[in-house]
Amino acid sequence: MARPALIVHGGAGPVPESESTQRQAAVERAREVGWSTLTDGALAAAMAAVRHMEDEPLLNAGIGACLNAEGGVELDAGVMDGAGLKVGGAACLRDVRHPIDLARAVMEDGRHVLLAAAGASKFAREHGLEMCDPSIFITDRKRQELLLGADTVGAVARDADGHLAIAVSTGGMTGKLPGRIGDSPIAGAGFYADDRFGAVCGTGLGEAFIWLGLARLMVVELQHGMEPASVARGAVDHLGKALKASGGVIVIGREGSPQAAFNTPAMPWAAAE
């Protein structure tokens, strides 16, 4: 019997002082949603927390996400079940109401790991997922044009059976080129989960996480016996020293408490165990 745990983050990066309290509150609401679902398993809890954050306008995922260089919203999401190393990702989405639902559908379908753009939307429609007009994601265009940093929202969970899972979702980075895909839907870069060792999720400059393969590197360090807190701090240090990049991570090991680390001015996060 394992001790259940959940940790949720709302993105690492500069946060306007006027939004700091509200963003933290949004993350805490997501934690409560995820925690209330943990009896259904780690995957259900991580999914529920991230799905909630896709509806929080102050977070960079789903509604209220940042805008690309053409003034549109393109969303990415990823999910991983540590029990069988099953992964699903979705990228460059414009009309899928909850990108995290599509990532899970890709994972459960099993034929591919990552679907993008029009093909991903077609897959979503064929699987009966909720679609929407792209305009629903734009709630305050002026604010969304000025969003700073490159945020992701994510959740990592461990259930009573010791299973680990992770879910991530993002709008990417403000002013990105249309078609840009960051680390959030890419296993090994922005997230990774393995029941044998632990689960991790990153947020920050996606290109840096991809260049370093940072999420997989963190799980290898857990595999070698490093404590989750040391892994989290080391990953953020590596991010800064190797590439002068900013970001943050959340980690849950096979045992022990959830951990978080970041080298940015803020990263709203909340945990329960």
Euclidean distance between CA atoms 151 and 17, whole angstroms: 16
Determine contact, residues 55/48, Cβ cutoff 8 Å: no
Residues with a known catalytic role: 152
Spatial neighbors of 34 by CB under 8 A, at least 6 apart, are: 6, 8, 45, 46, 48, 49, 52, 155, 157
Q: Rg of the Cα trace of the chain?
A: 16
How do 247-253 and 164-170 pair as beta strands? unpaired
Helix (H) or strand (E) holding 247: strand 247-253
Q: Show the CA angle centred on residue 197, arms to residues 192 and 203, nearest 5°.
A: 30
Residue 187 CB neighbours (<10 A): 22
Q: Where are the alpha helices (DSSP H) in the chain?
A: 17-37, 42-53, 99-109, 117-126, 141-146, 206-212, 214-223, 228-243
Euclidean distance between CA atoms 5 and 46, whole angstroms: 11
